[in-house]
Structure 1
Amino acid sequence: MGLFGFLLVLHILASIAIIGPAFVMPIIRRFARTAGQLHFAFDITTRFAIVPKIGGVVLILTGVWLMILTKMGLSQMWLNVSILLSLLMVVMIDGWIEPRMKRIIKIISESQNQGNEIPAEFGQLIKKIVPIETIAQLLMIAILVLMVVKPF
């Protein structure tokens, strides 16, 4: 396996490092039925938050390197659209989801000592995040499809 193959495998693994937690963590959180379970779910989310960030850096570096090796540049429309969607996804995650999640984590950690019941405020806040998370997940699927199918 040459440099191109190595970079491609690394690029794919980095995309898995980003996509995996984005799909799995909301599911884990939705199965929590007590404040303790919810606290545990958010603790896992917080600990694994570094994985998508490292994956993102590796994804960008390997993507640019692959573009240089193939002399593709920004000449392909599928690539331009996927880069644009990726930037939009990053803005959604870092600008909308993360600040709201920090507020939710604070509420959950404060309520941990008050029993096992999930605070009512949590339900209201999470209902606001779920549509944004769903859009981010759909963007990830769209980017993945563009990268694999290269439709235009």
Structure 2
Amino acid sequence: MGWLVVIHVVSSIVGIGPTFFGHVLFRKKQQREELKQSLALFQLLNYFPKIGGTIAVLSGVALVALSGWKFTDLWIWISLVLYVLIQVVAVGMLGPVMSQLIQVLNGENGRSTDQDTSTNKAAILLSKANRLYNTASIMGIILILLMILKPM
């Protein structure tokens, strides 16, 4: 069962870790080209939570099934709910904001607008993305703490 714990811990780090890079990638006051590069890096980093997170959940379920824990334990339910909420924020809410930001930066909004309007819209979307990243990061920290401090 030790190998399963190693798989679970490593996949959790790989799955949750990129969430914390968002704070660096989407910092305020970036130039347009810097933000485009950050968005490209975001797209690459996005694979890690999908793959690592999936393996972490599957290995976590296997750990519960093979150990003395029960699926009715409160900390397990809280952990699963937090994981789902992180996915909802990161994929369901942050993804569309990032798509809109890419469209604004590439000028694909279907109508010609002046640079100031585009810059303001990008700043609003960037601020929204940062709030979502903060939310996902806080939930990720709570999830990590639950894994460390789980009842023995």
The TM-score, its normalising length taken from structure 1, stands at: 0.84
Which residue identity lines up with residue 3 of structure 2 in the other structure?
F
Quickly say closer, same or farther: Cα 1:146–1:68, change in 2 above 3 A.
Answer: same
The partner residue of 1:42 within 28, 39, 42 is 39
Q: State how far apart, in whole Å, the 2-side matches of 1:18 and 1:122 are.
A: 28
Q: Aligned residue for 2:112?
A: none
Deviation at 1:128, TM superposition (A): 2.1
Deviation at 1:75, TM superposition (A): 3.3
Secondary structure class of the residue paired with 2:107: helix
The partner residue of 2:70 within 52, 68, 73 is 73
**4+ aligned runs moved over 3 Å, structure 1:** none
Deviation at 1:33, TM superposition (A): 2.4
Alignment coverage as a number of residue pairs: 145
Secondary structure class of the residue paired with 1:30: coil
Contact 2:16–2:53 under 8 Å retained in 1: no
Deviation at 1:25, TM superposition (A): 2.6
Q: State how far apart, in whole Å, the 1-side matches of 2:66 and 2:39 are.
A: 40
Task: Give the RMSD, CA atoms, in angstroms.
Answer: 2.3
Contact 1:32–1:38 under 8 Å retained in 2: no
Which residue identity lines up with residue 145 of structure 1 in the other structure?
L
The TM-score, its normalising length taken from structure 2, stands at: 0.84
Matches within 5 A, 1:35-114: 35-110=32-107
Q: State how far apart, in whole Å, the 2-side matches of 1:28 and 1:93 are.
A: 14
Secondary structure class of the residue paired with 1:119: helix
